Each structure stands twice: as C-alpha cells, then as structure tokens.
Structure 1
Amino acid sequence: MAVGFRRTLSTLTSPKAVAPASFLLDCARPKKLTSYARARSTSLPVRLHPLVAGLHDAARALLGWADAPAHTGPAWVSAGAALAGKVLDALAALLHHPSQSQSPLRRRPSTEQLLDDLLLLADLHALFRDSLLSLRNLLAETHSSLRRRDGRFRRSGVGVGGVGGERGAVAEDADAVLAGANAGEPDVDHLLRRRRTVSFEDYCNEEEEERKTAMARVRGLEECVVAAENGCEEVYRALVNARVSLLNLLTPTF
C-alpha cells in the first residue's frame, strides 16, 4: 500500500529544505542518494522517472568533468560545453512534463530562484562570449605578428647574405691580424673563427624554433576558442529552452 508514503511531485527533494542554487549539484552527489527512496510520486510513477534520472545523470557527468583534472585542447572544451548543454536540455524536458502544469512547483520559492539563476547564467554566458571574442582578436593579432616576422626573415635572406659577406671580409682581415700576432699559436685563430660561426647559426636556429613553437601554441588556442564558441551556441539554445519552459510553468493558463 502507498498510504504511508509522502506524496509529492518532486522525487529529488529530501526531507530537509535544500538551497535552490545548490539543489541540482547537491542532488547529483552520490552521498545524497540515500534520501531519494523516502518519497513517492503521484504523477511520476517510479522512484526516479526517466526525465528525473536523465537530469540527475547529466548533472553528475558535468560535476565529474569539473572535478577531473583539466586538459588543454578543443576536445576537452567541447566535452564540457556539451555536458552543460545536456543538463539544461534535461531540465527543459522535465519542465515540459504535462504534470508540471498542475504542480505545486509553480508556487514554490525555489522556482523563482531557479528563474533568477537562469537569468544569471544568461548574463555569464554573454560575458563569456565577449571574452572569447577578445581572445580571438588577440590571437589573430599574435598570429599575424608571427607570420610577419617569418616573412621579414625570409625577405631579408639576401640582406643577411650581404651582411654575411661583409662579415666574412672583416673576419678575414681580423684573421690576418690574429695570424700575424699569434704565429706560434695557430689553434687560437681556429677556435675564434669556429666560435663566431657556430654562435651565429645557433642564434638563427634558436629563434626559428621559438617562432615555430609560438605558432603551434597560437594555433592550439585558436582551435580551443572555436570549440568554445561552438559549445556556447549549444549552451545558449539549451538555456533559452529551459528558461522558456520555466516561464510557461510560472505563467497561469486559462
């Protein structure tokens, strides 16, 4: 018999009042699952309705992603955005349930708080989009600067060759002086010449390697920005759907 069970529409609530802002996160924690079996629902016939279970699973997946060590790369960014979108989609699906139109949920203070939280999330989404736009512009300028540096380096190849020729002539004159001054020490002239040549080549190679490394990092950041922008679009659509569903729930129909 179901007479002894408390009858409610919200199968995720515990006997104690839960703060609206942390309700979803607290329910998604495994340590909170012990209190779910104490409630039965009239409109949602099982202990965890598929819609409720879907919302719970989506929240747990998002928490797992947030608690795990961060990984750089577009795949990690896309995964986080997709999980956030799934939470909002699951919330919208639950609010779309036909039984919610006669639910006492519409008269609860937590419902108004949820609406405020969705508005806050929309504001944060707008700020995040602005930050992504600024980052994209900064990366574009950095990329262009690195490419211009590479172009100047290639175009100045002839000039570098000319400077190298002049440097060679000066080096020959210096070698002649050193040869006369150190006639009894031929190894000194050889070591000085080798040091000058190797140092110049090492400098050019080191500069080129640094430029290539910087270009690779910029490309990686650009890919992450693209992944974040695509994820933001999905999150925004899910956010709008959830907010519209909640507004429809709060708006009385005649």
Structure 2
Amino acid sequence: MVTNFRRSLSFPNPPSHTSSKPQMTFHVRSTSLPCRSHPIISQLRDEIAELNSWSVSESGCRTSAWLCDGLRRLKIVHESLDDLLHLPQTRESLRGGEYCDLIEKLLEDFLRFVDVYGMFQTLVLRLKEEYSAAQIAVRRKDGARIAVHSKNLNKIAKEIGKLASNLASIGKLSTAPARAPYDDEAELIDVINDVLKVTVSVSGSLFGGLSNSSAFRKPSCMGLMNFGMKTKNVKVEGAIREFEEINLESLRKKAEEEVKLASKKMHEMEDCIVEIEGCAVRAFRSLINTRVSLLNVLTQ
C-alpha cells in the first residue's frame, strides 16, 4: 500500500528594513504668536502706514475735513489693536512675568490718553457754547460782548493747546527679550509702539489745530503759545484753514455787509467744530476699549 505525502514549503520571514530617513519631529510653541505675522498685525501695519501718510498729506493746508479723516483713521487703528489684544495667542504671550512691567506701562499710557481726551471733550463743549454766544453778539453788533467772548475763547484755546504737553511723557516701550531669529513677541511690541506714536501725532494735530487758529486766539498770543508749547516728544501742529477765516476782534468795526458775511462763515465754522467733536468722541471711545482689553490681559 502506497501512501501519498504532501510536502509543504515554508519560507523565512523577509528581513525588516528600517527607513534611512530620520523621523520628523515637531516643536510647538504654546505661548507665542504664529511664527509668521498674523493677518491682524499685517492689517495694523498697513493702517499705521496710511495714517503716517495722512499726517504729511496736507501739511501746508490743513482743513477740518482732513483732521476728521485723521481721527477716523486713528479710531480704525485702535479697533485693530483691540482685535489683536483679544487673540488668545496675544494674551498668552503678554501674560508672562517678564511682560508685567510692559503691560503696566501701556496701561499708564492709555490712561493718560483717556484722561486727555476726556478733558478735551469738556473744553470743546465750552468752546461751542462760547462760540455760539459770540455769534449772537456779532449779529447784534455788541462790541463789548464780542470782546468778552473773544477773551473767553482765547482762554479755552490756550487750555486745549496745553493738552499736547500732557502726552509728552508717553514714550517707547522696552523691547521684548530675544528668543529666536524671528521673535514674534518683539514684532507685537514694535507694532504697539507704532500705535502709541501715531496716537500722539494725531492728538497733536487735533489740539494744535484748534488752539492755534485765529478764530479762537488773539494774534498777539499766537507766537507766545507756539514758543511755550514746544516739547521733546510732541509737535504742536498748525491751525485749521476754516478757523483762520474769522477773527472776532476785527468784527467789532466791520460794516453791515461784512458782518452778515462773517455771521454766515461763523455758522459754517460751528458745523466744523461739531464734526470734529464727534470724530474725537469716537476716537476717545476706541482708546477706552483698548485700555479695557489691556486690563483683561492681566485679569482674565
């Protein structure tokens, strides 16, 4: 009897081959901004550049429309900074112990901005009331009242001019400690420094534009004011064109037709003051919001 056997063939397991490529590793920074500029930072830089261009666009002929445009642009810059401060990455970056002094300095600077703009709101309200009363005196040809209102306007304009000196102590923030060839925290601080700089610049244009205008200042005081207000960090800007067209003191001896024309121009100037006031209020609110966001960086 023949029995058939089946032969089974077995092969050794193939040798394992390890890849010659080294295994890739990833390093994640959990407390910093992205290594490339965040879109908000890029947007903020563009807005700051536009505001810097605005500041020299009409250096020889400043108008109320030009000033309002600058205040609107300043509001946009602070809204973008506020958005940046709301980013979780930004808050984590600035919460480190090494940045506590920097945040405190920023809070002081923005408190000074808020205080100065608050004082400006009070002064511009007084300016409007006094200017409205002066218009009535001009229409009535009341020389004595014109002289009184001219004196009061001159006093208010001086106080507005002094506001610029309150911003002179706002300086550059300390540079962030270097950690890498591309330091994202340093970029953040750099852009905040630029925001501080343009805020001081636009504020100088606002306060100087009103305080240096002949509609509110006596000619004899203009030179003294410009001399006394020169500071290291703040440049007091020139007058606004619309506010150079009227001088109350000169209206005391004008003829009937000239007084009527002056009254019309004074009404137009009052509209300009109201528009500037509204733009300054909106910029003021954006400054408050930015400071609140800075406080939240420390407390939340």
**What TM-score range do you get, normalising by the shorter chain?**
0.5 to 0.7
| Distance in structure 2 (CA, Å) of the matches to 1:124 and 1:70 | 27
Instruction: Report the equivalent of 2:92.
Output: 102
- Partner residue of 2:48? 59
Q: Is the 8 A contact 2:75 2:283 kept in 1?
A: yes
The runs of 5 or more residues in structure 1 that have no matched partner are: 10-41, 151-205
* Distance in 2, Cα, partners of 1:213 & 1:60: 41
Separation of aligned partners in 2, 1:210 and 1:106: 66
- Which digits, 9 at most, give the CA deviation of each residue in 1:168-215, with x for residues without a partner? xxxxxxxxxxxxxxxxxxxxxxxxxxxxxxxxxxxxxx7133213322
Map 1:4-83 to 2 at 5 A.
43-46=33-36, 48-68=37-57, 69=59, 71-83=61-73
Corresponding residue for residue 193 of structure 1: none
Residue 130 of structure 1 corresponds to 122
Letter in 1 for 2:83: A
The aligned residue for residue 143 of structure 1 is: 135
Task: Say whether the 8 Å CA contact 1:89–1:238 is kept in structure 2.
Answer: yes
Alignment RMSD, CA only? 2.7
1:111 partnered with 2:103: yes
Query: Which has a greater percent of helix?
Result: 1
SS at match of 1:233: helix
User: Conserved in 1, the CA contact under 8 Å of 2:94 and 2:297?
Assistant: no
CA separation in 2, counterparts of 1:84 and 1:106? Answer: 29
The aligned amino acid for 2:73 is L
Q: Contact between 1:65 and 1:80, CA under 8 Å: does it hold in 2?
A: yes
Counterpart amino acid of 1:120?
Answer: R
Q: Does the 8 Å CA contact 2:94/2:103 hold for their aligned counterparts?
A: no
Q: Residue type matched to 1:233 in 2? A: V
Whole-Å Cα distance in 1 between the matches of residues 92 and 265 of structure 2?
54
TM-score by length of 1: 0.55
Q: Deviations over 1:28-67 (max 9, x none)?
A: xxxxxxxxxxxxxx53252x32111122122222222223
Please give the per-residue CA displacement for 1:205-234, whole angstroms capped at 9, x wherever unaligned: x71332133223312321221111211221
Partner of 1:241: 289
- Structure 2, gaps ≥5 residues long: 1-24, 143-253
Structure 2 counterpart of 1:91 = 81
The TM-score normalised by the length of structure 2 is 0.47
